[in-house]
Structures are given as structure tokens and as C-alpha cells.
Chains A and B, each alone.
Chain A
Amino acid sequence: MSFKIIVLAKQVPDTRNIGKDAMKEDGTVNRAALPAIFNPEDLNALEMALHIKDNIKDATITIITMGPSRAAEIVRESMYRGADNGVVVSDRKVAGSDTLATSYTIAQAVKKLGKFDLVIAGRQAIDGDTAQVGPQTAEKLECPQITYAEEVVMVNENKIQIKRRLENGVEVVESKYPCLITVHGSAKECRSRNAKFLMKFKKAKSNSELQELGQDYSALWNEKPYLKIDEWSAADIMAEDSRLGLTGSPTKVKKIENVVLTQKESKVLTPKDEDINDLMKELISSHILG
């Protein structure tokens, strides 16, 4: 019986190079204006999964990503690093999902994959910074969760010990399987792509990618089934439409405000109590502290 690891990964707009047109009028992210990248903490999660795979015989890694068809790139990038396969959950119905709808969709996809030992995800994605999808998914899967994981202290077929990075220190916890882990950015960086994996998987494609390219892969998929990236619709994962996408998302964006932080003036303070008191009051009233 092989040890089954599922990694949740997301393709995100590269918010490190953000410009004026990053947001659309309706308050959603303008994905077209930003280059799409592998969410950084999901790469930490993938590395943790690969590390576990290195240490447990016959372990396999499956990637689940949700997004438009181009998100298949996330699956390929993972396979170049050692993941075995992956699936893109793609459906117009899931567009506009908040964390509740997203975690529902992902939990449904995980359930479709059958019995698993570990689900590993990044703590949060740089486009939303909510850190909610991992924990909500664990609840829906009814399994224990370890958040803010930084390092695998010990792992075998029966249990895992994880060092968690908390605000004021670290903590080591242990769990049996199945279990869901969210990984902190301070965990080990993901390894580089491997040349052999890259050459093996570089032609892997999903159905909709092939349609866009106008290519026919049926013969190739017969010969090399590992070149097929599965694509699942809402129906494939037996999802209820009412819980998907905008319909299934109670979160509503009321208003988007552009906050430009500029340095206007400098202040010289003396180390007197009243000066410090005034400063603290100012910082609290301007919501910088508190």
C-alpha cells in the first residue's frame, strides 16, 4: 500500500511586481495584468512533501490545483520537481470563489482521489493572504490539521512530527494519518527542477490546453499515460452548484481602496515619556499599531 500525499497548490498573480492596473473595478484581482507564478508557500509545501517522499518508500505525490486551464503549469512545475501526477479543477462555476467555496471544492477533489495519508498546502496565497483554505479544507475532510509547519522532525508510515513556527517561538507536535499540514514560508525552500523529470514531463498537457493548441494527444497518451494532466469539472467532483463560485461565497467585497504609503516628514523625538506616549497614540489612531 503506497503512502499517498496530496499537495494543494495555487497559481497566483505575482504581487511582488504589482502595478496600477492590478485590481479591477469590481474589486477582484486583474489576473491578466500580472504574471502568473507558483504561490511561494505552496512551493515550501511541495518541498516538504518531496522530503517526506524521500523518506518513505513508495510514497506518491499528487497535486491539486484549482483555476483556469493555464493552471496546468503548476502541475508540470511540480512534476519537474518530483511530484507524480496532478489534477486541475477547472470549471466556470468555481470562478469567484472565496475561501469557503474554495475549501469545499478542494475537499471534494481530495475525496475523489480516495484514501490519503497527508494533504500538504502552503499557509496562504500571496493574492489573498487569508490562510483560511488549508484549515477549512481539513475541517471538511474531518482530519486533524497542523498549521504553520516549518520542518518535519520525524516521519514514518504511521506518524509525523512537525515543528511549527509560531509568533513567539516554535512547537513540536505529532499526528497520525490522515492529517492536513499548512506550511510556513520559513520552511525549507523548494528544490530546483530536476533535468530528467523535466525532460520526461515537459510535454504533459491537459485536455483544454491541447484544444487551445489544436493538438491531438490520444496516441501519445496511450503510449505515455503520465503525460496526461487530468482536468476535473464541478460535476466530476460531485460538487453541489450552490456551494461553488460566487454563489457559494458569502464574502462580498464592499470597496477597494488604494493605499499609498509615502514618507512625508520626519519627526525627532526625545526619550521622554510624554514624547513616546504621543507617538504611541498617533500610531494607534492611524491604525499602524493595534
Chain B
Amino acid sequence: MANFFNDNESLKFHLHHDMMKEIVRLKERDYADYGKYDYAPSDFEDALDSYEKTLEIVGEISGNILFENAESVDQDGPTIVDNAVVYAKGTQQNHEALRDAGLYGMSLPREFGGLNFSYVPYVMAAEIVSRGDCGFANIWGLQDCAETIYEYASKEIQDEFLPKINQGFTCSMDLTEPDAGSDLQAVQLKATWDEKSNCWRLNGVKRFITNGDADIKLVLARSEEGTTDGRGLSYFVYDRKHRAVTIRRIENKMGIKGSPTGELVFNNAPAQLVGDRKMGLIKYVMSLMNGARLGVGAQSVGLSEAAYREAFKYAQEREQFGKPVLNFPGVYEMLANMRAKTDASRTLLYETARCIDYYKSYEAISKERKLEPEERQKLKQFQRVADILTPMLKLFTSEYANQITYDAIQVHGGSGFMKDYAVERMYRDARILTIYEGTSQLQVVAAIRGVINGGYIALIKEYEAKQAGPEFSTMKKVLVSMRKRFEEAQERANSFGSNSEFYDFNARRLVEMCGYIIMGHLLVIDANRCSSFTNSAELMIRMGQSKVEEAATFIMNFEEASLAKYKIVSDCKNCEE
């Protein structure tokens, strides 16, 4: 009986972080629900115990059902029958198991049938689900949409839709269109007010919609006629019961094949406005997107863990030249780096989740009562950190998931290239992670703000000031030298102005330098609490040091004039004629 929570001590380590006591107290409003709901906790110990026991259920379902079904789900995939998406048999079984276990609506308040879990355990559940089946994590993870409805929609809409989430009604966020991918300001799907029916009507096409045939759809649409940018877009909620959306096709994808990706045609579909008009993209989608990026972070960590474990197991069992391949430097280096990257990804994930937990709770409390000045300050402080850590998390963890699944195949040798081994599927599943919910390139655009406004440096200096045991003094010194190297490179980039093309061109290098330093510090902090992370801390810092040096060297030697050499107009002069 596999259990993907119980077999992973790192999860318990992060769940028992010092900050959790305050995070849970805020989320539970000093345990005000106790007595009102029979499943509400009475105090912190009770809440944490409930988190652990619930995550045990997630771990059991993920290990015994999701993971076991993953291969057949990958083969079967969803189909369209009578204009409805039918999940693969395994997908349906996964969905029902998680629904029956009460694991939809985990973060929703109890008044809507939710479990009122804070972000840390909710994200942990997402990580565990992703380890079982990366693609299924999308269908389960889209319960995030409920967060947006809870935060921004009217009470009527909340009451109509939110209680359905815990019953297993599925969600989708319908943003992308054929001509509006990364550039969502170009969304064209039209929303018009229908006076007669007293509702909005949606008309147009959406493309690449994950779980496109969901019960509850959040749709970004142009409500202001004659506008062309993001300010003319509003956010709507559509109920599948109206049957006014045609599923034109399901995409035949490279990976996450169990997760249906649909092209949809809205035919005068009735919908309700979420929040205020014109705030669709500017406010609500941005908020939803931040949640989704955290979700991809969790998905990436779960997949990395799965791939690392498959590779490690294989390397122990497979013998060549008379010994397990694990004993060869070329192989054990790969595995050790995979382990270090997974630990680094995970610590960044939960650091981000903790910040989000804090500020989201304060935000929710501010709707109930006026915050004290110091609470307001904390809200701002944690929101600032969450805002710069979220794109960094998405950038690093998704790229690492790709590197780790790539190496997992390499460890398997020729066998890894065959469909007989799970790593082949994992490698394909990983590929989308750096693309959807904002490509890596777009994460850099979001994260560079933290470089420009000094957010990362402030955070790094905070970490530097934290005390750690004497055994970490060398690591901490290296981290300080990495920070100094970053500052040199940043100074050079600044000399061209932060709006310059020089700056944009080197933005990823600058963001990544900060990332290596931050992950290094986080692992030292973890290792100081639990020695099992010492190895990963040392390995990550060693890796980060050379990466920072590489990026710094590039920037220090880069000339503005060199930009032209990267702008290839055409490879072949003859073609231009």
C-alpha cells in the first residue's frame, strides 16, 4: 500500500514549520469555527493533526489509485461523445476517489462545504496528487477557480456555485484564444448584456482550455465594445447546465494526455459577471494566475519527486560492469543533483505558500474588520514577498522538473526511452510546465520587478542575517559572495537603464542569479533545522555558485552592440530575394 505522504519526510518537515502556528491561527480566526462545524479544529495541534491525517488520505489515493492509473490514462485519454468530454476510465476513477474523500474545495471556508485549509497543506496536497499523476493534477487543481469566486464574486454567485465544489463539480479557467495566448489583452470573445433575459451572453472561441468541458467555467471576455486592450475585459462565470458551449475538438497533446484540452465555441452562452466590469484581466485573472502559478510549482515539485524516485530505484537495481549503475560517478552525480533540485524546488514552494497564506488571511480578515496598523504592514510585507517569489517559483520549479525528468530517462538508459517505464511519460508531462500559466520568459518579466525594486536583495539580506550553526559558515560565506557578484552584474545592467533592451536581454540571468542565492539560503535554513537537508544545501550552493558566476561573466562582458548579433532576420540571404 503506497502512501505518497507517509513515505516522504520532507513534507512533514515543511508542514511543521515554525510559522505554521500563526498561519493556522489567522486562517482559523482563532478557531472560531469550533463548535459551529463538527469537523473544525479546536486549536493549533488539532488543526495540524487534521492536516496530517487528511494528507495521509491524499497520499493513499495518490499512491494507490492515481499512480496506478497513470499509464492507462496516458494511453486512453479523453474523448468527445455527444458534445461532452468523457474522461478516460482511470481519470474518472481518480476524480471520484478524491471527490468521495472530500478533497475538493480544500481551501474554501466551511460555510461553502470546504475544509478551510491554509495554503501550505492545500499546496502539499497538490504536490502529492501531482506525484501520482501530473496531468490529473490539472483537473483536481482547477478547484483554484473557487478561490476567485470566493474572493471577488457577489454573495449570490458564491452561494450558487461554491457549495458545488466540494460535491465534485469541476472547474476551468477560459482565458486563451487563437490570437490571445501570452498576450491576453487581445482577448476577443464577446460579452453582451441581454436586457430581456437579464444576463450576459458570451459569443466567440476559446482555445487550449484545460478541462474545457468543466461544470463551472470562469471566462475572460470583452464586455466593452470598441475597446482593444485589457481594460475592456471582464470576468464571467458560466454554468455547464446551459449547454451553450460546443466542444469543437480535444487537442492531441505530447503530455498530460489525461487532462482534456479543448477548443470551445460559445454560442450565446448565458453568464454572470464576476466582480466589477473592466477588472477582468487587470485584477481577477492576475489573481487567479498567481494561484495557478503556485499550482504549477506544486505540480513541478510532485513530478520531480516522482521522476527522481523512479530513477533512484532503477539505478540501484540495474547492474552493468558487475555493479549497480548507481555506483558510477556519471550516474550518482545526476541523481544527487536531481535530489538537490527537488529539495530546492520544494523549499521555495513552501516559502512562497507561507507568504501567500499570511497575506491572503490578512486580506480576508480586512473584509471582516479594520486591520491594526501592524497587521496592515504585515499584509503588505508578505504580499510583496509572495509577488516576487511566485514567478521565481514557477520559473525554477518547472525548468527543474524538465531537467529532472530528462535526467531520469538518462539514468534509465535505453529502457527509459521505452514506454515500459514511467519516466518516459513523466518526461512528456513535464514539457508543458514551463509553458502554461505563463511561459518561463513571462515569469522573468514578472520577476524582474523584484530585481529592479530591490525586493530580492532585501529578502536575501534578511536570510543572510539569520543565524545558523557553525557547520554552515562556509556555505553562508559563499552565499554572500554570490550576492556580491549579483550586485556587480546588476550595477552594470543598471548603467544601461532598467528600461533598456540591454536590461531586458539579461533579465533572465539577473532573476536566476537571485533564485540560486535564495534557494541556497532556504536550504541552509532547512538544514539548520534538520540535517537531512545539509547535503542538498551544499550541492545547490555549489551548483548555484557556478551558475551565478556564469551569468555574471556573461553580463560583465556583454556590450550593447552585441544585441544586433542576436537579431537574426533570416538565416539565408538568398531567401530574401
In the bound assembly, the distance between CA atoms of A195 and B106 in angstroms comes to: 9
A202-B49, A202-B50 known; A193+B57 contact, CB < 8 A: yes
CB of B239, distance to nearest CB on chain A (Å): 25
Contact across chains for B101 and A192 when beta carbons are under 8 A apart: yes
**Please, which residues of chain B bring their CB within 8 A of the CB of A197?**
39, 102
B70 contacts A by Cβ under 8 Å: no
A199 contacts B by Cβ under 8 Å: yes
Contact across chains for B101 and A199 when beta carbons are under 8 A apart: no
Contact among A195, A200, A224 with B57 in the assembled complex (CB-CB below 8 Å): A195
**Please, which residues of chain A bring their CB within 8 A of the CB of B103?**
195
B115 contacts A by Cβ under 8 Å: yes
Contact across chains for A199 and B53 when beta carbons are under 8 A apart: yes
In the bound assembly, the distance between CA atoms of A199 and B116 in angstroms comes to: 12
A191 contacts B by Cβ under 8 Å: yes
A198 contacts B by Cβ under 8 Å: yes
Contact across chains for A196 and B115 when beta carbons are under 8 A apart: yes
Contact across chains for A195 and B101 when beta carbons are under 8 A apart: yes
Contact among B54, B60, B61 with A199 in the assembled complex (CB-CB below 8 Å): B54
B550 contacts A by Cβ under 8 Å: no
**Please, which residues of chain A bring their CB within 8 A of the CB of B50?**
198-199, 202
A194 contacts B by Cβ under 8 Å: yes
B41 contacts A by Cβ under 8 Å: yes
In the bound assembly, the distance between CA atoms of A196 and B166 in angstroms comes to: 11
Contact across chains for A199 and B97 when beta carbons are under 8 A apart: no
Contact across chains for B60 and A192 when beta carbons are under 8 A apart: yes
Contact across chains for B38 and A198 when beta carbons are under 8 A apart: no
Question: Count of chain B residues with Cβ under 8 Å from any Cβ of A?
Answer: 18
Contact across chains for B101 and A200 when beta carbons are under 8 A apart: no
A191-B100, A193-B101, A194-B102 known; A199+B41 contact, CB < 8 A: yes
In the bound assembly, the distance between CA atoms of A197 and B102 in angstroms comes to: 9
Question: A184-217: which have CB < 8 Å to B?
Answer: 191-200, 202
Contact across chains for B54 and A198 when beta carbons are under 8 A apart: yes
A contact residues, range: 10 to 19
CB of A83, distance to nearest CB on chain B (Å): 14
Contact across chains for A192 and B100 when beta carbons are under 8 A apart: yes
**Please, which residues of chain B bring their CB within 8 A of the CB of A224?**
38
**Please, which residues of chain B bring their CB within 8 A of the CB of A226?**
38
In the bound assembly, the distance between CA atoms of A226 and B106 in angstroms comes to: 24
A191-B97, A202-B50 known; A196+B57 contact, CB < 8 A: no
**Please, which residues of chain A bring their CB within 8 A of the CB of B106?**
195
In the bound assembly, the distance between CA atoms of A192 and B93 in angstroms comes to: 12
CB of A59, distance to nearest CB on chain B (Å): 17
Contact across chains for B39 and A200 when beta carbons are under 8 A apart: yes
Closest to B65 in A: A192
A202-B49, A202-B50, A202-B53 known; A195+B102 contact, CB < 8 A: yes
In the bound assembly, the distance between CA atoms of A121 and B41 in angstroms comes to: 34
CB of B423, distance to nearest CB on chain A (Å): 27
In the bound assembly, the distance between CA atoms of A202 and B57 in angstroms comes to: 13
**Please, which residues of chain A bring their CB within 8 A of the CB of B61?**
192
What mask results when residues 26 to 53 of chain B are scored 1 for a CB within 8 Å of chain A, else 0?
A: 0000000000001111000000011001
**Please, which residues of chain B bring their CB within 8 A of the CB of A191?**
97, 100-101
Contact across chains for B100 and A194 when beta carbons are under 8 A apart: yes
CB of B136, distance to nearest CB on chain A (Å): 15
The 19 sampled A-B contact pairs (Cβ below 8 Å) are A191-B100, A191-B101, A192-B97, A193-B60, A194-B101, A195-B54, A195-B102, A196-B102, A198-B57, A199-B39, A199-B40, A199-B41, A199-B50, A199-B53, A199-B54, A200-B39, A202-B50, A202-B53, A224-B38
- Extra pairs beyond A193-B101, A194-B100, A196-B102 (12, CB < 8 Å): A191-B97, A191-B100, A192-B57, A192-B97, A194-B101, A195-B57, A195-B106, A195-B115, A198-B54, A198-B57, A199-B54, A202-B53
Interface positions of B (Cβ within 8 A of A): 38-41, 49-50, 53-54, 57, 60-61, 97, 100-103, 106, 115
